[in-house]
Every structure is written in structure tokens, then in C-alpha cells.
Amino acid sequence: MSTFVSSHSRDAFAPVATMNATLDLEQYLELLLGPKNDISAFGSDESRHDAWREHAAALLTLVDPGSRPWAWWQYDATEPMLPREPEIAYLARCGFLTDTERERLERARLQLPSLATRNP
């Protein structure tokens, strides 16, 4: 068994079943990170989109403040990022940062980008 797996609870790798349907590990990872080698773990884009809608709330809690899972960028982003725009700058510019995220980022002493000095 690898060091990574042995150092983590086996429960961390169990299927996500916190909501109505269950995701297997490959589907869970695809929603977080994107398809592996352009091969989807879902039968269709529609089923992947439905899984995202059902599991988005739980998956969003697994990423750092100022970040979003891969599926969020596929299904929820309202416009493309500007060239060289950091993810956190996009989220701030488009009004997607939550108050909780802003507080956590400020506690971590991360400065949010100023919208007045944005360079496209």
C-alpha cells in the first residue's frame, strides 16, 4: 500500500454518498479535477452536469477559498477568464467570492485583487 493511502483513512476514499446519488471515486475526482486523459467517468455530459448539480455544495467545501472545482468552471462560470487573470481575481471580479471566503482569505493575509487596477 502506498504511503499516501496508508496515511489517510480508508473512509476518505469511499464513494461520496452524502446526497441522494452516489459518486464513485473516478466521478468524484472528475468533478473536482476534470476528466482523466479526456475520457469521462460519466456516460454523458448531461449525467456529469446532473451529478455536479446534485453534489456541488459538498464538493465546493473541498477546495481552498478563492478556488473552484473543475466542474464549476464548466457549468457555473458566467464568462471566460481574462488573459493572465488569476482564479481568485476572476471570482472577485464576477462577484463569486462568498463572505466566508473573503474572511478566510483576509485571515490568511491574502490580499484580494483591486478591481480598479485590473490589467486585461
Same domain, 25 and 58: yes
Tell me whether residue 70 is in a domain. Answer: no
Same domain, 89 and 118: yes
Q: Of 27, 17, 78, which Cα lies nearest the Cα of 49?
A: 27
Domain that holds residue 81: 77-120
Q: Is the pTM of this model over 0.85?
A: no
- Bridge partners of 36? 39
Question: How many Å apart are CA 19 and CA 17, to the nearest integer?
Answer: 5
Work out the pLDDT band at 115, boundaries 50, 70, 90: low
Tell me whether residue 19 is in a domain. Answer: yes
Q: Of 10, 9, 45, which Cα lies nearest the Cα of 30?
A: 45
Tell me whether residue 71 is in a domain. Answer: no
Same domain, 27 and 60: yes
Tell me whether residue 38 is in a domain. Answer: yes
For residue 6, what pLDDT is reported? 36
Same domain, 52 and 81: no
For residue 16, what pLDDT is reported? 45
pLDDT digits (tens, 9 = 90+) for 59-114: 999 999 999 999 999 999 999 999 999 999 999 999 999 999 988 888 887 666 66
For residue 108, what pLDDT is reported? 80
Which residues, in sequence order, are CB contacts of 92 under 8 Å at separation 6+? 112, 113, 115
Tell me whether residue 90 is in a domain. Answer: yes
